[in-house]
Amino acid sequence: MKLKIIITYEDGWYISSCPNLPGCHSQGRTTKEAFANIEDAIKGYIASYVKHKEPLPVQPFIEKQIEVKYDSISASIR
């Protein structure tokens, strides 16, 4: 199973999340640690569903990148 992992940076922590698995998040002080921790979180997440014999709520993830021009936003709020 291939899953999407997203890493963001906030207040000294790299926050990792898996948008395919609702509520599956972790963190680390480095990106390497955040990736390792989210992998552990995913394994635990899946194991919990298997243990309780529940279907895994894998959600499709649609990705699109957009470009927002800062100057146009800045000008519109002046």
Q: What is the mean pLDDT of the chain?
A: 89
- Of 67, 66, 42, the residue nearest 56 (C-alpha): 42
Which tens digit of pLDDT belongs to each residue from 26-40? 999 999 999 999 999
For residue 45, give every residue at least 6 positions away whose Cβ sits within 8 Å of its Cβ, in sequence order, or none: 18, 21, 24
Tokens, residue 56: 């895994």
pTM of the model: 0.76
- What's the fold here for domain 6-76? Double Stranded RNA Binding Domain (3.30.160)
Containing 26, the helix (H) or strand (E) segment is strand 25-28
User: What confidence score (pLDDT) does residue 25 get?
Assistant: 98
Which tens digit of pLDDT belongs to each residue from 27-73? 999 999 999 999 999 999 999 999 999 999 888 777 777 787 777 66
**Domain locations in the chain as residue ranges:** 6-76
